[in-house]
Structure 1
């Protein structure tokens, strides 16, 4: 069953609006100004064709994503000189995916951030996130 709500990442004009954009034939990178200032320079790379998760990308879309990832790193290095990066996909509701169109997060990180040094798994490794019943291997 198709959703009646249009996919916001299929709206390429909106992704381009008021954004720094890089694109190729298959994918688009969009960096919009952060409303809070907490994610300066953060953006997403999306396939232009609707793909629900990273697991649905074609080989060409993977290559196109990598091309944009390398281009945006060069751009951000020159413009912001970050000290590191977080790069990652959220897949499915439980994985934290809130828009069901594949998108790769590209987040520059800075040494003077309060949470510098905490990677994308830091919150997952906490004791509060431990499952009650672990499967036996």
Structure 2
């Protein structure tokens, strides 16, 4: 797949420079060039899948296993007391590279990042209709 248009596919094939921190038969993890915090790493499947809706569950499981491994390495090597995982599927969710990936972001202090959204607590009973809609697949 030489000359792949996807930057992550080019990283996988070795034609785009990167700084890998972990690799296995199914995944590669490399430092994000835009570090949110020191050690911010991306974990990607070697096969191209656009987003969460397209990746087969067994490949997603490989990515999650690699994510757990990378999180442990970041925690130990960088003495990060916390880790955030971030994934975005679709442009409206802020996905900017359309190759499935998970961000593993080491955390050093509660204030080193800004939360991406504001949560509003709702009465549990008010969520009944929404839960039913999701369960029914509507």
TM over 0.5: yes
| Partner in structure 2 of residue 99 of structure 1 | 97
| Partner in structure 2 of residue 7 of structure 1 | 6
RMSD, matched Cα: 2.6
Kept after mapping to 2: 8 A contact 1:24/1:64: no
Deviation at 1:18, TM superposition (A): 4.7
Instruction: Give distance in 2, aligned partners of 1:126 and 1:71.
Output: 30
Instruction: Give distance in 2, aligned partners of 1:114 and 1:87.
Output: 15
2:54 paired with 1:56: yes
| Partner in structure 2 of residue 87 of structure 1 | 85
| Partner in structure 1 of residue 135 of structure 2 | none
Deviation at 1:70, TM superposition (A): 1.8
Does the C-alpha gap of structure 1 residues 53 and 33 become closer, same or farther in structure 2, counting only changes over 3 Å?
A: closer
Once superposed, which parts of structure 1, at least 4 consecutive aligned residues long, lie more than 3 Å away? 112-115
Structure 2: segments with no counterpart, 5+ residues: 121-128, 131-138
TM-score by length of 2: 0.71
| Partner in structure 2 of residue 23 of structure 1 | 23
Kept after mapping to 1: 8 A contact 2:41/2:105: yes
The structure that is helix-richer by fraction is 2
Q: Which moved more, 1:22-31 or 1:101-110?
A: 22-31
Kept after mapping to 1: 8 A contact 2:87/2:101: yes
Q: Deviations over 1:17-53 (max 9, x none)?
A: 351331222211112565xx65210111111111000
TM-score by length of 1: 0.71
